[in-house]
A and B are shown apart, each in its own frame.
Chain A
Amino acid sequence: MDEECITQWNKTGDTSTLRNRKIFPTSEKTLQTPSTLLSKDKNKKFSKDPPTRVLLMLVVGLSFSTRLYKITEPPHVCWDETHFGKMGSYYINRTFFFDVHPPLGKMLIGLAGYMTGYDGTFPFIKPGDKYKHHNYWGMRGFCAALGSCLPIFAYLIVLELSQSHSAALITAILLIFDTGFITISQYILLDPILMFFIMAAVLSMVKFNQQRCSPFAASWWLWLVLTGANLAGALGVKFVGLFVILLVGLNTVWDLWRLLGDLSLSLVEIAKHFLARVVGLILLPLFLYVTIFAIHFVVLNKSGPGDGFFSSAFQSRLIGNNLHNASMPEYLAYGSTITVKNLRIAGGYLHSHWHLYPEGVGARQQQVTAYLHKDYNNLWLVHRQDANESQSGTPDLVRHGDIIRLEHKETTRNLHGHLHEAPLTKKHFQVTGYGINGTGDTNDLWQVEVCGGQNGDLVKVLRSKVRFLHRATGCVLYSSGKTLPKWGWEQVEVTCSPYLKETPSSQWNIEDHINPKLPNISLSVLKPHFLEILLESHIVMIRGNSGLKPKDNEMNSKPWHWPINYQGLRFSGVNDTEYRVYLLGNPVVWWMNLASLGLYPIMVAVVSIAIQRGFSLKHSHVLMREGGLLLFGWLLHYAPFYTMGRVLYYHHYFPAMLFSSMLTGITFDILLKSTDLILRPPYSDRLQTLGQMVLLFSVLYSFYLFHPLSYGMTGPLAHEPGSTMAGLKWMDSWEF
């Protein structure tokens, strides 16, 4: 354990003895030098060093001024502000909605708007809508303030890891003058909030690692708790937060492994360490995360656009929903109009519409699907097997074991099954709409079965779980949860499954029940437990995320486009008459990062071969250990996108980009400091300074060239004559 506490001070201390490479007999012996006390002293002296504070103030000043400059421009809705601004308004109005991301980010946006006097009345209908008198600057300013923290955090992290001001400064400059980060921080988006929490978590983790010499001290606990809290924050904004959780988790496992190998610690001590981390990094974040959701559900108590995604029980909580204090006939009756909801979470309503299955997909009959939104096409009529309704008196009730026919109200087709393969789940049979005006054939007959019921039991609306068994083939009506292709309007597949096991996919409940001949009775639906709501909303979110499939005719962004800055995103404006903002990284910064990603493995290879051959190089520890951590962070935030089936965008790369920039800081710094391997001292120092200057000026100059991308362009496009951006369209794929 002491080995860890000491090594990092070796490089800040006097390194003159290590200046030229030396041959050490064994690599282990080099690590066993001074005492802990000495290093602590240095730590204090070091942090009081005036340059630290000056530099930090410089970074803070530059960061905030670049992000807050022209914050209210353009005064109209840009890109995804239309979603997240709208969702912020929903919180102010307390209207329930559905989104694929967890709620923290939107809650904070809503809060920021509320505090700065935004009243939640702006509709955020589409990008380009003018804000007029609405107070939008507060929400933008909040995001920009969090976005301004990114370079500062990056500076502190790199400083902590490498103990080198120049490395930290390189990182901060790369991030401050990157047009991409400026643009993405300036609007009402989740990304600045997400990245704030990610960086805060990494910073706390690094600080916590630094505290390993004084376990269970107050600061040790502080950083541990902060790490946990920020992890909860990151996950609470977007599921991308999982990657940083993984990073911290693996770091913790590594840490525990190190402790386990320290034979001077008793098992009790190790157990204490383990439990502390369980509390700080698992239980605390979990509690915070659940709390976020609890607030979300308490705040949003009015019915809104997101109702249909959730189960009947869930909807009954929402004021204004027709299931809130619902009043309808209690038992299912013949002649009623009903909607049928699948019990699988986010299963959707049984639905049909005037469109046929395309050729080659089973029989060419009318489509039957499951649909998540409330719609007239979800209505079905319940008929007897033999079509003659009793005209007068109270209608008969449907009982367990009865054979019924379900007629689609809008198109008068019957729910029909037959021995054709289902469109996606080939092991199941196809379900169609068949017949006209309710007359079909024997394949239209379904047997009602109440789960856990006996012959003669009545079907309770909302509360009974019902299965529909197809009479002719013996299969059961089933929703597979797979999304149909374009011909099926991306609705969910409905099949008839020959496997009769009782699963939520094959169980349905009757949600709306309209029958004028029966008295309406107020029904109290069983209120769902909080944990049930939590689970349900997560499954709905995950489904929603994987349901975001790329459209056929759209140009999709591919993960390999991102590091090479291949193509950006239009935030505002397309034509030469409009005010245009284009999200695109500063190409010089991005290509430097790309170069360092190539350079880093080469440097590591050289250093490791040297070490394996018994030489020792200074900086090798920072390069391999800390650089490795950052490279790993980059990989964790980048590689998973290759396996994702959902639609991807350029801005998904930005969290990975943070790690990449920090790695660049360390790599370039070490590269420049290694000039003494080729040159003698006075010249090597000059070369190093020269390199740093070149780096600084190329970043500044490219920022000067490309700053209109973030701060707005008007006039002709870059490839047209008279453009302010003339000659800057370095890649054909850039669209400004």
Chain B
Amino acid sequence: CVSMLQLPLVVTAQVDVVLLLVSFLSLWTRLTQLGYPNAVVFDEVYYGQFVSLYMKRVFFIDDSGPPLGHMILALGAYLGGFDGNFVWNRIGAEYPSSVSVVGLRLLPAVCGSLCVPLVYLLTLELRFSHLAALGAAVLLLLENSLIVQSRFMLLESVLIFFLLLAAFSYLRFHNAAPHRVKYMGVFSYLLLLGVASLHTWNLIGDRTLSVCVQCVCRAVCLLVVPLLLYVFWFYVHLTLLHRSGPHDQLMSSAFQASLEGGLSRITQGQPLEVAYGSQVTLRSSASQPIPCWLHSHKVNYPIRYENGRGSSHQQQVTCYPFKDVNNWWIIKDPDRQDLVVSSPPRPVRHGDVIQLLHGMTSRFLNSHDVAAPMSPHSQEVSGYIDFNVSMPAQNLWRVDVLNREAESESWKTILSDVRLVHVNTSAVLKLSGVSLPDWGFRQLEVVAEKHFKSQSVGWTVEEHRYGTSQEQKEREAELHSPTHIDVDRKISFWAKFLELQWKMLTVKLEDSEHKYSSSPLEWVTMETNIAYWLHSSTNAQIHLIGNPVSWGVANLSLLAYQLLAAIYLLRRRRGFKDLPDGAWCQFVCLGCVCVGGWLVNFVPFLLMEKTLFLYHYLPALCYLHLLTPALLEHTHTHLLSRATHRRALCVCVTAVLVSVFLSYRTFCPLTYGSPELSANQLQGLKWRDSWDILYRRR
């Protein structure tokens, strides 16, 4: 013990001063005056809603991606003490003093700032010099668009941070997995996977190694771990959000019933098994995203339609997208007269034949060989009225439980997906997908069809109770009263997870063109900008505009790399080796990471049909900013041999850096929203005709 104390306590630390300086500058540019403007800026209005929903633990679904990004924003808000009580309704709305604006914006801003040192380290990992690394960091540091995107409660900076982190980690052979913020991350992930599998492939060729262990290790790290993490984030997401909310109706009845409030408030305590005498509402499982229920009302089909075809003139049966007392139907045994549930209840099973009686009008659900109003290939479905015109009632329906596990499966509330087959014609009750005209109150048409696609024929019992009143009047009163509550019903996490995945892939919440939306080809030349915020009384405003100089330099370097690569490749093919093998490897690696990164983050957008914005280009841009200094260094060491040329290059680089800085300075007012500029100054900043800069008329 004594001998240990005799040793001096030594801490040796190597500090990269440049890295520290760059990090400090980065934090400074991203974090100063973070609370300004004290108003909702652009997509904050969108993400803010989700943050609020997290705070309130209300379930939502967002098609832009998995929930990690939203959760990070929510975490920031939670730490900042935000309670979710703010109405996110309009861009430019002032935050009340109770909302900690800095708290909301801090985490994305920090992520955005950390991108700069990360790029520095990444360049070093690509085996370029500290000077090149510094260049890349400076380009990122002075990129106005990245600054703007980092300073608000938006996801891109978080996404970019994780993308760069993943690339960096892999290059360091730490094999860390990329996290998922948005589905865009998938493309980068695939690139990474490609590089990794190439490495693994070479490994397989090396017969001296025990290949299996290596392969399995890599597979686990790069495939299994991300998958587990992905599932884990959803687990957290679904655990946190257990209350019903605005997007309930997109989900299946079973999913809704698992959320607190909403549908479960109605359905809890319902009897599980549908029995003869049950009163039910039948929801169509085909009518996504808007739900609708089998419905009838005291109006008949018109005798003749507009096109001259005739109808049965019996009572209309439709599908109605709102809860209504006319959605109630009573399950009746064809052999008995009573409409109440016997005790013990006799459950309806798969294959049973039933009649369906409309609760309010007491008409039987009927179908016959009459063409349906809008879909003449199919049979009309009606509430049967006997007009004495030799049109007998054909009101028997067979119950097919589609998701049955046994042949004698009973019909269960919410859980069973049921097909109703018309006994006389073996047609199936289904939604045709067409709305009726005015005479049908624009409700959805219901038909019976023999040739059906299996996916659009399911019906689910949503509200259910055992009928007790034999008298029509009492029954109507019973139908008007709300259903009761007691037990609670759960579906497994995996069922919820899979349903959520499917919905996120298929549901499109919004689809129209936006005032500031743009096409991917416009991004490369920065034809567009996005106005993020305009002061409510002055000309102070914030725009997403990139630094035009560095943007141009990035495009140039992309072209230069491709040209250079083509020349090298052709010459190598003819046997001229311009570069030593080490340098060639480095050059190829640079291309794989930077040009590859740019491609996978850009090309998929060309094929997408959703509304796209300039900020979708930012991840791709970061890769180009990585490329520029590395390419310059390559030129310096391998292409220029004479000292004068090298000196000229240095001068050029300096000039470019200075102009990057100057253009950054010029656009600062639009990046930080202050100081306010006059109309003339704003006009001067409109470097491109297609940019939208706002002027307030005085």
Contact = CB atoms under 8 A, between A and B. Distances in A.
Interface of A: 257, 260-261, 263, 267, 421, 424-427, 499, 501, 552-553, 555, 574, 609, 612-614, 643, 645, 719, 732-733, 735
Given A426-B513, A555-B453, A499 B573 contact: no
A596 B514 CA distance: 46
Contacts of A424: 512-513
B201 interface: yes
Nearest to A554: B433
Contacts of A553: 432-434
Contact of A425 (B450, B451, B513, B690): B513
B570 interface: yes
B607 A260 contact: no
B6 interface: no
A266 B655 CA distance: 44
B207 interface: yes
B159 to A, nearest CB: 24
B205 A613 contact: yes
Contacts of B452: 732
Tell me what chain B mostly uses at the interface: helix, strand, loop, or mixed. loop
B204 A609 contact: yes
Contacts of B201: 612
Nearest to B692: A427
Interface in B202-217: 204-205, 207
Contacts of B434: 553
Interface in B663-688: none
Interface of B: 201, 204-205, 207, 377, 432-434, 450-454, 512-515, 517, 570, 573-575, 607, 609, 689-690, 692
Nearest to A500: B689
Given A613-B205, A733-B453, A733-B454, A426 B514 contact: yes
A263 B204 contact: no
Tell me what chain A mostly uses at the interface: helix, strand, loop, or mixed. loop
A501 B514 CA distance: 22
B573 A427 contact: no
A261 B454 contact: no
A732 B573 contact: no
Nearest to B608: A643
A499 B690 contact: yes
Contacts of A733: 453-454
B609 A263 contact: no
A232 to B, nearest CB: 28
Nearest to A421: B515
A501 B515 CA distance: 19
A732 B454 contact: yes
Contacts of B575: 263
B515 A260 contact: no
B607 A643 contact: yes
Closest A-B pairs by Cβ, 10 of them: A426-B515, A612-B205, A260-B573, A643-B607, A261-B573, A426-B513, A553-B433, A612-B204, A553-B434, A732-B454
23 contacts: A260-B573, A261-B573, A263-B574, A267-B574, A421-B515, A424-B512, A426-B515, A427-B515, A499-B689, A501-B689, A553-B432, A553-B434, A612-B204, A613-B204, A613-B205, A613-B207, A643-B607, A645-B609, A719-B450, A732-B453, A732-B454, A733-B453, A735-B451
Contacts of B609: 645
Given A426-B513, A499-B690, A733-B453, A614 B574 contact: no
A501 B689 CA distance: 10
Nearest to B211: A613
A564 to B, nearest CB: 14
Given A426-B514, A614-B207, A260 B570 contact: yes
Given A499-B690, A612-B201, 7 more contacts: A257-B573, A263-B575, A424-B513, A425-B513, A427-B692, A553-B434, A732-B453
A502 to B, nearest CB: 13
Contacts of A555: 453
Nearest to B456: A555
A689 B498 CA distance: 46
Contacts of B432: 553
A542 B388 CA distance: 58
A91 to B, nearest CB: 35
B393 to A, nearest CB: 23
A655 to B, nearest CB: 21
B693 to A, nearest CB: 13
Contacts of B514: 426
Nearest to B570: A260
Contacts of A425: 513
Contacts of A263: 574-575
Contacts of A552: 433
Contacts of A574: 377
A263 B574 CA distance: 6
Nearest to A258: B573
Nearest to B513: A426
B28 to A, nearest CB: 36
Contacts of B450: 719
B146 to A, nearest CB: 25
B613 to A, nearest CB: 13
Contacts of B512: 424, 426
B508 to A, nearest CB: 14
A424 B377 CA distance: 35
Contacts of B204: 609, 612-613
Nearest to B606: A643
Contacts of B574: 260-261, 263, 267
A257 B434 CA distance: 57
Contacts of A643: 607
A733 B512 CA distance: 33
A574 B689 CA distance: 58
Contacts of A735: 451
A574 B376 CA distance: 13
Nearest to A609: B204
A521 B550 CA distance: 60
Nearest to B204: A612
A612 B454 CA distance: 47
Contacts of A612: 201, 204-205
Nearest to B609: A645
Nearest to A424: B513
Q: Which has the most chain A C-beta neighbours within 10 Å: B513, B515, B607?
A: B513
Contacts of B205: 612-613
A501 B688 CA distance: 13
A574 B378 CA distance: 13
A87 B242 CA distance: 61
A181 B438 CA distance: 46
Nearest to A735: B451
Contacts of A267: 574
A257 B204 CA distance: 28
Contacts of A613: 204-205, 207
A452 to B, nearest CB: 20
A732 B456 CA distance: 13
A732 B690 CA distance: 54
A424 B513 CA distance: 6
Contacts of A614: 207
A609 B212 CA distance: 12
Nearest to B690: A499
A733 B454 CA distance: 8
A732 B449 CA distance: 13
A263 B454 CA distance: 62
Contacts of A260: 570, 573-574
A426 B434 CA distance: 29
A243 B283 CA distance: 46
Q: Which has the most chain A C-beta neighbours within 10 Å: B207, B574, B607?
A: B574
Nearest to A645: B609
B271 to A, nearest CB: 32
A613 B208 CA distance: 10
Contacts of B690: 499
Contacts of B513: 424-426
Contacts of A719: 450
A3 to B, nearest CB: 16
Contacts of B454: 732-733
